[in-house]
Amino acid sequence: VAEFVTTELAAMKLQHGVLLTFLLFVLASFFFFIQHESFYRELHILSQRFPMESTLHLQGSKLAPKYTKERYQNILNIDMSTFKSNLRFISNHLSTDSEVDITSLIRSSSSGDKSDEQKERRGTLTCNGKQVDSEVIYWKIVPGDSTYESPITPHHGEHHDRYITFEYDGGGWNNVRMSLESLIVVAHAMGRTLVVPPQQHLYLLGKPHKDKDDKEEHDEMGFADFFDVALLESHRGFHVLHMEDFLRREGVTGGLHGRLPPGNSSDAWGDALWRYLSQVADAKPEWSGRFIAFPAAPGDFNVSSMLRDSAVRARYEAFGGDRIARGTICYDEQLQRAHHIHFPGFQKHRILQHHYAFAFFADPAMQSFYRRYLEPPHILHCCPLSISY
């Protein structure tokens, strides 16, 4: 009897130990699932949208921009520790007709072996047509930036039918610069063609001078005097058109609500040009003192849905601060569909904020790109360098 009792007690202890171990395993699995549930949900969504094999064939929406293998490599190279964020980015935005070998990409990303073209390098400064080496160069050239296209807009293939025109700000140089930089970023993010107006009389910038091909001096200045248009055009996601070409394409052909430019000419200038652009615009935003919020996914035109993510909400509140009470501008369907958006240079239409404080992006990777996208106008650094001490 004693032997039987001893045997049964030992068996019960073993069963209890197994049961306890099993319960601890179930409990640990439950907490692990809760912590990583969103990750697995995103992984499931991705596997449903794309067939996952050793090679991933990505065939997403035609509205999304197309990414080559090299551009996908650049995404992975950003930071392998943020794979969850990259996975959401892929699921929402990625579309390509080419095959992407995920295994080799992750292996090469983890190895750290990069070609010179894939490495960050110091920026360049060009003064009077020559590259200058100086300690004032604080910006970098980041691989993939020149081929980056905004993933939230379908207009890269239709940018010729979506335009932003603007009037130079009526203030001094700093006001003109801030508004132009913000418009460059907004045009890139919206996938729109930025129409550059002709040189004008700008406040406190009226010193007579000659441009490269001028025979006589003049006191007008404009966009190309402050920004390297060729450098901006070298970015795949940025589209630019000069005003005379815009008026020739859209104005004199009746493409702007059937109204013709002054004199039915593509050489319109000054106040007559500004009045015409205001009359034919589909939208004239009044964004002074406010900021614009861009979603992380195409077609997400609701700020409240954008802010369901607690991390995005925290960034949004820190970015907007007191300005949120004035009403956030949301990149919505109306802005996306408008054929022609025009920004007058006065009153509530003025954008008197730096671009990095004006445009909020729900996707941190987009926020990072647009903060470094706009190189400072080289003239700001070339002029001081020309001073002899």
Q: DSSP letter for 375, please.
A: P
Torsion of CA 133, 139, 143, 148, to 10 degrees: -130
Give the separation between CA 144 and CA 142, rounded to whole angstroms: 6
Q: Select the highest-mean-pLDDT range: 44-48, 148-152, 381-385.
A: 148-152
247 three-class SS: helix
Side chain identity at residue 102, one-letter code: I
Q: Over the stretch 26-52, which tens digit does the pLDDT of each residue have?
A: 676 666 555 555 444 444 444 444 433
- The sheet carrying 329-330 orders its strands as 329-330, 292-294, 359-361
The answer to whether residues 62 and 94 touch, using CB atoms and an 8 Å cutoff, is no
Q: Over the stretch 264-288, which tens digit does the pLDDT of each residue have?
A: 999 999 999 999 999 999 999 999 9
311: alpha, beta or left? (left if phi > 0; alpha if psi -120 to 50) = alpha
Q: Over the stretch 234-251, which tens digit does the pLDDT of each residue have?
A: 888 899 999 999 999 999
- Residue owning tokens 């035609």: 62
347: alpha, beta or left? (left if phi > 0; alpha if psi -120 to 50) = left
Split at pLDDT 50, 70, 90, the class of 6 is low
**Spatial CA neighbour of 246 closest among 309, 370, 160:** 160
The answer to whether residues 374 and 237 touch, using CB atoms and an 8 Å cutoff, is no
Torsions phi, psi of 349, nearest 5? Answer: -85, -10
Q: Find the mean pLDDT for residues 170-175.
A: 92
Bridge partners of 66?
95
Q: Find the mean pLDDT for residues 142-154.
A: 86
- pLDDT attached to residue 382: 81
- pLDDT attached to residue 383: 78
Q: DSSP letter for 115, please.
A: -
220 three-class SS: coil
pLDDT at residue 78 greater than cutoff 70: no
Tokens of 98: 């080419």
What Rg do the C-alpha atoms of the chain give, in angstroms? 28
Give the separation between CA 354 and CA 328, rounded to whole angstroms: 16
Alpha helices in the chain (DSSP H): 2-49, 69-78, 83-93, 102-111, 173-190, 223-226, 229-233, 243-246, 270-280, 303-306, 310-320, 333-337, 355-358, 364-373, 379-385
Stretch among 44-48, 257-261, 268-272, 359-363 having the lowest mean pLDDT: 44-48
How many other C-beta atoms are found inside a 10 Å radius of the C-beta of residue 299?
Answer: 14
How many other C-beta atoms are found inside a 10 Å radius of the C-beta of residue 68?
Answer: 13
The secondary structure of the chain in percent helix, strand, coil, rounded to multiples of 5, reads 50, 10, 40
CA 209 to chain centre: 36
**Spatial CA neighbour of 199 closest among 235, 244, 239, 142:** 244
